[in-house]
Amino acid sequence: MKEPGILELIPNLRRYARALVRNSHDAEDLLQDCLVSAYGNAQSWRGINRKAWLMTIMTNLNYNRLRKQRSTRAIFDEDTHDIAQTVASPGSGDFATQDSLHRAVELLDPDQRAVLMLVAIEGHSYGECADILQIPQGTVMSRLSRARKFLAQYLSMQNGDDTDGTKAPNVIALWRPK
């Protein structure tokens, strides 16, 4: 199978960036940094699974970004608040659910979020995911588990007052964060 070129993978990279980063302008910056780094280090690609290689670059760049951010600035911006406050407004229908999910994803631990995005959205195998994030596969599984259970918990909370109680409580994943 022919490996896709970097340009062909931009939509995937952009999607991953947006899943990792709260703000879509920052996501675009992350994407650009990733492309610059990828072209600058093209020789470091071993010729297999270019997508995973690019995802690794982006993951690492994002870690650096988070590390800097931690010491320099508050992450919350006004838009985030406005979205939050709209979550439960009446009549927002499906959009509210999507928005709840978005908030839940934002609330995930960044490490767990990266795993969930690579597995659930990008469809990488657990092994690929472990390679991309440079962590053991067991860690991939535990982060995936915690991410999924957190989302279930969060959404069940949101749904509790939006639905008519048609969701039986035992449909909700039971979870204690460790």
Contacts of 54 (CB under 8 A, 6+ apart): 6, 9, 13, 34, 38
Residue from 64, 68, 125, 136 in contact with other proteins (CB under 8 A) = 125
Question: Cα–Cα distance between 64 and 66 in angstroms, integer?
Answer: 5
130 contributes a contact to other proteins by CB under 8 A: no
Shortest distance, CB of residue 42 to other proteins, whole angstroms?
22
H or E segment to which residue 29 belongs: helix 24-40
Shortest distance, CB of residue 44 to other proteins, whole angstroms?
26
Question: Cα–Cα distance between 104 and 108 in angstroms, integer?
Answer: 6
First CA to last CA distance, the chain: 42
Distance of CA 127 to the CA centre of its chain: 18
Question: Cα–Cα distance between 24 and 16 in angstroms, integer?
Answer: 11
Residues 54-113 that bind other proteins (CB under 8 A): 69-70, 72-76, 79, 81-90, 97-98, 101-103, 105, 107, 109-110
Specify the residue, 64 or 76, whose C-beta has the smaller distance to other proteins.
76
Residue from 14, 33, 49, 50 in contact with other proteins (CB under 8 A) = 14
Specify the residue, 44 or 75, whose C-beta has the smaller distance to other proteins.
75
Residues 34-53 that bind other proteins (CB under 8 A): none
Specify the residue, 78 or 134, whose C-beta has the smaller distance to other proteins.
78
Contact 27, 21 (CB under 8 A): yes
Contacts of 5 (CB under 8 A, 6+ apart): 50
User: Which residues sit at the interface with other proteins, rule CB under 8 A?
Assistant: 10-12, 14-15, 18-19, 24, 28, 69-70, 72-76, 79, 81-90, 97-98, 101-103, 105, 107, 109-110, 116-117, 119-121, 123, 125-126, 141, 144-145, 148, 150-158, 160-161, 165, 169-178
